[in-house]
Chain A
Amino acid sequence: MHVVIIGCGRTGSALAVRMDGEGDQVSVIDIDNTARSRLPTGFGGAFLHGNGIHTQLLEAAGIQHAEALVALTANDSANIVAARVARHAYQVPRVLARLHDPAHAQAYHELGIATIGSVQTTVNRVVQVLHHLTLEPHQTFGNDETLLVRSRIPDYLDGRQVAELNVPGEIGVVELTRQGHSRIPEPTTPLEPGDVLSFIVAAGSIGRLHSFLDGKWS
């Protein structure tokens, strides 16, 4: 895919190198010309010096044909403007912007701009890891509001039905691995020792799932 990255800092340059290495067509824009030094000599994409909201520069970066734009500058407003220009003026299908100040989250939300790398995301993740060591999320969705986690079921749940672990709006069992084979279980499927379950969990309910698996029904 052709991706335009605004901001060639640590994250922007690392993303550019990664996507270039995966065969994507990458254009990186930075207002600081020295930022190009973060790109290695073998980098196959383009570096453009200038302001990532200038339409001339965006067009030089191929925004008309871009399938994605990622705004990673240190400035929330610059990220919002770049993201919205990409979406509305150039109909770029995938647009992501970094959010630095949590106080600006509502502004991004109101303008329909998907955010990444926010302080809130990091905080959520750290709390998850610190509090729930056994429930490492395999995947998170949206802004980490829901998570996919896997866990071996404790012995005391032997014979319980899958449906007993489902809590509407909070916890749902989506997959069962038994003796190396994966399947989507029925609500009435009885659990057996050694079963590993995949759960989709609301971020606020991870503690509740943890309690289930610790043998504390709440």
Chain B
Amino acid sequence: MTRVIVVGGAGLPDQVAAALRNAGDEVTVITGDPLVPATLETAGALKADVLAVLTQSDEDNLVISLLAKRRFQIPRIVARVNDPANEALFDSSWGVDALVSPATTLVSMIKATP
């Protein structure tokens, strides 16, 4: 069982959380301000295996990822990129282990259609 913390509200983050729960993971969805240290700690950041940072603000996602990596050494941090122009920022220098870029994924799928 993987312990996952999901940051971000309605829409994609909630759907991801629900899907992970169905798959048997232990999922905590953050409520409160993730830029405040206590919020992630209360959500179990010290024992989490994965942090999914999925808000609709790239700036928030970067700052949350970096603070989480530094404070809690969460082994795997997956962050959402909303604006493909920001993709270059989402790397280990911001604590991000993997990025999810819905727009870029969609574009590549559309381009791949014969």
Residues of A within 8 A of B (CB): 51, 53-56, 75-78, 80-81, 85, 88, 101, 103-104, 106-107, 110-111
Given contacts A77-B60, A77-B62, A78-B59, contact A85 B89 (CB under 8 A): yes
**Chain A contacts for B66, CB-based, 8 A:** 111
In the complex, the chain B residue whose C-beta lies closest to that of A88 is B93
Question: Chain A's nearest CB lies how many Å from the CB of B96?
Answer: 12
A-B contact pairs, 25 of them (CB 8 A): A51-B86, A53-B58, A53-B59, A53-B89, A54-B86, A55-B88, A55-B89, A75-B59, A76-B35, A77-B59, A77-B62, A78-B59, A81-B58, A81-B62, A81-B89, A88-B93, A103-B35, A103-B36, A104-B35, A104-B36, A106-B37, A107-B35, A107-B37, A107-B67, A110-B67
Assuming A53-B89, A104-B36, is B63 touching A81 (CB within 8 A)?
Answer: yes
Closest to A103 in B: B36
**Which residues does chain B contribute within 8 Å of A54, judged by CB atoms?**
85-86
Q: Contacts A103-B35, A104-B36; is A77 near B63 (CB within 8 Å)?
A: yes
Determine the residue in chain B with the shortest Cβ distance to A57.
B85
Task: Give per-residue flags for B51-84: 1 if the beta carbon is below 8 A from chain A beta carbons, else 0.
Answer: 0000001111011001100110000000000010
Residues on the B chain within 8 Å of A88, using CB? 93
Q: Which residue of A lies closest to B88 (CB)?
A: A55
A53 vs B60: C-alpha distance in the bound complex, in angstroms? Answer: 12
Q: Closest Cβ of chain A: how far from B94's Cβ, in Å?
A: 8
CA distance A88 to B86 in the complex (A): 16
Is B33 an interface residue, CB under 8 A from the partner? yes
Q: In the A-B complex, list the 10 residue pairs whose CB atoms are closest, starting with the nearest.
A: A77-B59, A78-B59, A77-B60, A77-B63, A81-B59, A103-B36, A104-B35, A107-B35, A80-B63, A81-B62
Interface string of B3-18 (1 = CB under 8 A from A): 0000000000000000
Smallest beta-carbon distance A12→chain B, Å: 17
Most B CB within 10 A of own CB, among A78, A88, A101, A107: A107
